[in-house]
Each structure stands twice: as C-alpha cells, then as structure tokens.
Amino acid sequence: MGGREECVYRSKLAEQAERYDDMVVWMQRVAEGDYEMTVEERNLLSVAYKNVIGTKRASWRIITGIEQKEIEKKSECGKQLGYIVDYRKKIEGELKSTCNKVLGVLKAILDKQQDSSIAGESKVFYYKMQGDYNRYLAEFSTGEDRKEASEQSLLAYKSATEEAESLTATHPIRLGLALNFSVFYYEILNSPKLACDLAKNAFDSAVSELDSLNEESYKDSTLIMQLLRDNLTLWTSDMNDEEQGQVEDIEQEES
C-alpha cells in the first residue's frame, strides 16, 4: 500500500473510529500531493474538517448562550462571567486556527491547479469550502476581522457560483452551494431578501429540471432541495420577527 493509498485508508479508519482530528492529519497529506484529488478524497477531506469544526461551532454557540444569560442577570455578574468569557475566547482561538488551516489547504489546492485542467465541479467544491470556512470565521469575529472574513466569504461564494453555471440545476454541489450561500446572506450579511431570492431561484430551477436527476445523486439533491425549502419557510415567516430559528446548511458529500 503506497503513501497516498495508505493515507486514504488510515483516514477512513479514523472516520469509523470518529477520530476526526486524526482524519484531518491524513487527508491533509493527500491534499498536499502533486495530483488532483479524486471525488472520494476531497469528500474525505471535507468530512474530516466539517466534523472538527462542527463540534467547536456547537461549543461556541452553547457558551455564548450561557454568557448572554449571565449578562442578563446584571447585578449578579462577576467572576463567573469572566470565566465564561475566557472559555469562549479559548474556543474562538481553536475555531480560528482550524478555519485558517482549512483555508490554507484550499488556497494551496486552487493555486496548484490554476494551470491544470481541473474540472469545474472540483472548483465549485473548493470555492464553496472557502466560502464556508470564511463564513465560520465571520460568525464569531468582530470589527475588521469580521469584515475581512465576510468579504472573503462573499468572493469565494461568487467564484463558486460562476463555476457552477456549468453544472445542472439539480447537481448536489450546485444546490449545496446555493444553500450555504443563502445562509451567508441571511446570517452574516443580514440580508434576508437576498437569501430568500437565492434559495428560491435555486429551488425553482432544480424543480424545473427534475428530469435531469440521476439515481446516484437523487438522494443528495432532494435532501438539499428540502433544506432550501425549509429555510425559505423559516425566513419568510421570520422576516418581521426578531426571534430567528436555526437555519440549515450542509457540507454535502457526493455519491
């Protein structure tokens, strides 16, 4: 078993053991190689980082919720709030480190393949990931850091959208991009109308081309279409309501 094959095998082993930090190590080695990653390999890279960052994002949401409740107590604020803030900052440091590692890997992949015949599908996948991880940075960042992450996320999503024109409207990568790009508009740029327009156009286009759905991607595509519709329902009902529910995004895997 050669170097590349060994890394992929060990990554799959780590995935089964739910040791995603180990999975990241092996898949980074594959990503650093002088060859274009296969569909399976880039999915493994995506799954590895998605699980690592997902746990940290969930932790951050919980801690910020606790912090908000502590602040609302006002008179009872004291040492406990300080402990909470310290812990939140620790989690934010881990989030920033993980996001920057992913973005570094993605930049290297895209730079390396600028002059190659990398497929449009692959470019959409990598640009979408760039948009996602800059969005994750923007979620907890403030001031200039948030502005920079938001701008980089927007640029990446727009680049992915341009490349996605070559894919069918029902392609799971194109649908996943539309889903996450619309979440970016809603959550990061606070632009519910743009979010709704993007999600609705993607959903309607896919519905009009349902005949182009193939068996391999049917499950993935219909799942994302359902998530688009769920978000649209939530966003339109919350448009004039300050209370916002949990929106859905996805790091889709191709069949």
Angle value at C-alpha 186, between 185 and 192, nearest 5 degrees: 100
The model's confidence at residue 34, banded by pLDDT at 50, 70 and 90, is confident
* pLDDT digit string, tens, across residues 153-188: 999 999 999 999 999 999 999 999 999 999 999 999
For residue 54, being part of any structural domain is answered with: yes
For residue 191, being part of any structural domain is answered with: no
For residue 177, being part of any structural domain is answered with: no
**Domain harbouring 106, CATH code:** 1.20.190.20
Q: Provide the whole-model pTM.
A: 0.88
For residue 74, being part of any structural domain is answered with: yes
Say yes or no to pLDDT of 117 above 80. no
Contact criterion met (CB below 8 Å) for 79 and 70: no
For residue 80, being part of any structural domain is answered with: yes
Instruction: Give the residue numbers spanning the domain of 10.
Output: 1-119
For residue 82, being part of any structural domain is answered with: yes
Of 28-32, 109-113, 174-178, 232-236, the one with minimum mean pLDDT is 109-113
For residue 19, being part of any structural domain is answered with: yes
pLDDT computed for residue 116 by the predictor = 55
Task: Report the number of distinct structural domains present in the chain.
Answer: 1
Say yes or no to pLDDT of 133 above 90. yes
For residue 229, being part of any structural domain is answered with: no
